[in-house]
Amino acid sequence: MSIKRGINIIFLDIDGVLNSHTTAERCGQYIGIEDQKLNLLEIIVKHTKARIVLVSTWKYFWHFKREDKHRQDDLANYLDDVFAKHTLKVTAKTYEINPFKRGEGILDYLHLLKKNQVPINNFVIIDDMLFDYRQTKLIDHIIKTDSKVGLQAKHVVKAISLLKRKGDTVDES
């Protein structure tokens, strides 16, 4: 029997989390991402070794496979660039038919990991909207930001606490 450490996951929205109504940064006509918010996200990742999975609408033209990167739009390339400057990397994205059913996309993603025998330690959802998180029973994992200010230090503390609340999983192989 071996001890296998499960992964931590941050299901991440962008607008209202890594930017706000007052964000000066731009990517073309779109609101950009604030360095200060990325610094906060970096603290969570550094303390929990969490993987970042996009739930944001920013995911639609973002691709995780290197051979598909040429198909990305300017916003997706910008996302990769600003994350890389902060030693952050998006590792995956959720897929759901209805963009207002983010919880369903998260549950599908978690099911896929389980099917592939990827142990999960814990996960958080950082979003400024609740979407279907209550209906999908994911509300205990939500860290809800205020879109007027985005990610704050109090959210970092909560995320780290939630991601560290569960110990190692045991792999019977």
Q: Is residue 87 part of a domain?
A: yes
Enclosing domain of residue 92: 2-165
Q: Is residue 68 part of a domain?
A: yes
In-domain check, residue 114: yes
Give the per-residue pLDDT at 169. Answer: 41
The verdict on residue 170 lying in a domain is no
Answer yes or no: is pLDDT of 36 > 90: yes
Q: What is the mean pLDDT of residues 69-82?
A: 96
Cα angle 87, 42, 23 (rounded to 5 degrees) comes to 100
Q: Please check whether residue 131 lies inside any domain of the structure.
A: yes
**Burial class for 106, CB neighbours closer than 10 Å (0-12, 13-18, 19+):** buried
Residue 104 belongs to a domain with what CATH number?
A: 3.40.50
DSSP state of 118: -
pLDDT for 4 equals 60
Count of domains for the chain: 1
Q: Which amino acid is at 44?
A: I
pTM: 0.93
Residue pointed to by tokens 């929205």: 13
Q: What is the DSSP string of 1-40?
A: -EEEPPEEEEEE--TTTT--TT---EETTEE---HHHHHH
Q: How buried is residue 86: exposed, middle or buried, by Cβ count under 10 Å (0-12/13-18/19+)?
A: middle
Strand, helix or coil at 142? strand
Residue 171 forms part of a structural domain? no
Query: In angstroms, what CA-CA distances link 121 with 110, 153, 154, 170, 173?
Result: 11, 23, 22, 11, 18
**Helices (DSSP H) in the chain: which residue ranges?**
35-48, 74-84, 102-115, 153-163
Burial of 153 (C-beta count, 10 Å sphere; 0-12/13-18/19+): exposed
pLDDT in tens, 100-149: 999 999 999 999 999 999 999 999 999 999 999 999 999 999 999 999 99
pLDDT over 90 percentage in the chain: 90
> Do the domain assignments include residue 172?
no
pLDDT at 90: 97
Residue 12 maps to a domain: yes
User: Which pLDDT score is estimated for 5?
Assistant: 78
